Amino acid sequence: MRLKESPSQTAGPYVHIGATPNFCGIEGIYKEDPGKRMVDAKTKGSRIVATGRVLDGTGTPIKDAMVEIWQADAAGLYPGKGDERGTADPHFAGWGRQAVDGATGLFRFETIKPGAVPFADGRMMAPHISFWIVARGINLGLHTRMYFADEAVANDADPVLARIEPPDRRATLIAPASSLGVYTFDIRLQGDNETVFLDV
């Protein structure tokens, strides 16, 4: 008797099951998938939605991607014990995780607009959300950032955006507000307007 080989996947055959079991239809492990909820009724700051799609080189949505985000709270402090500048909002998770919708390829995070945080040299960075993307065919998770189009002055002074050459590629990291605090950030893996990814 021989066991069948597990399906071949870049991140292993069970990454979605382990990271988002409820999404995969496996209930009872967690009340809700880790990272699903970032805010509660007492979270301080302006509520926003960060949404978009992960697109391949032809502009087709990738329907098996998983997206994680990390960000500071409204005061620019990171949750956890590592931020020596102060204590972050205890009602804000600071990170979120979800698999994209299998039919549309969309992700959607309900969160708050982050405050500015300092760069390694002390200069202030513009408000931003850090993204990590994994999917079939991506050997290492991809890191990028979403900046806010309505923070133009802060974006112009941001030390990370300033490093991106040529300058017109910086626009791939800036999300417009489509309506009432909804920011749309499509992540293009290659092709025209490929998103800038960061080596972190």
- Domain borders along the chain are 33-188
Q: Are 142 and 168 in contact (CB under 8 A)?
A: no
Is 0.85 surpassed by the pTM of this model?
A: yes
Query: Once rounded to an integer, what is the mean pLDDT over residues 126-153?
Result: 93
pLDDT at 9: 60
pLDDT at 10: 62
Query: Once rounded to an integer, what is the mean pLDDT over residues 8-23?
Result: 71
pLDDT at 102: 83
- For 74-121, the pLDDT digits (tens) are 999 999 877 788 899 999 999 999 999 988 989 999 999 999 999 999
Confidence band for 192, pLDDT divided at 50, 70 and 90: confident
Contacts of 91 (CB under 8 A, 6+ apart): 39, 40, 41, 42, 43, 44
Helices and strands (H and E) in the chain: how many: 2, 12
Confidence band for 167, pLDDT divided at 50, 70 and 90: very high
Residue count (the chain): 200
CATH architecture of 33-188: Sandwich (2.60)
Distance CA 76, CA 79 (A): 10
Confidence band for 14, pLDDT divided at 50, 70 and 90: low
DSSP summary character for residue 152: H
pLDDT higher than threshold 80 for residue 13: no
pLDDT at 6: 64
Query: Once rounded to an integer, what is the mean pLDDT over residues 57-76?
Result: 93
Q: Closest by alpha carbon to 10, among 65, 68, 67?
A: 65
Query: Once rounded to an integer, what is the mean pLDDT over residues 25-45?
Result: 91
Averaged pLDDT of the chain: 90
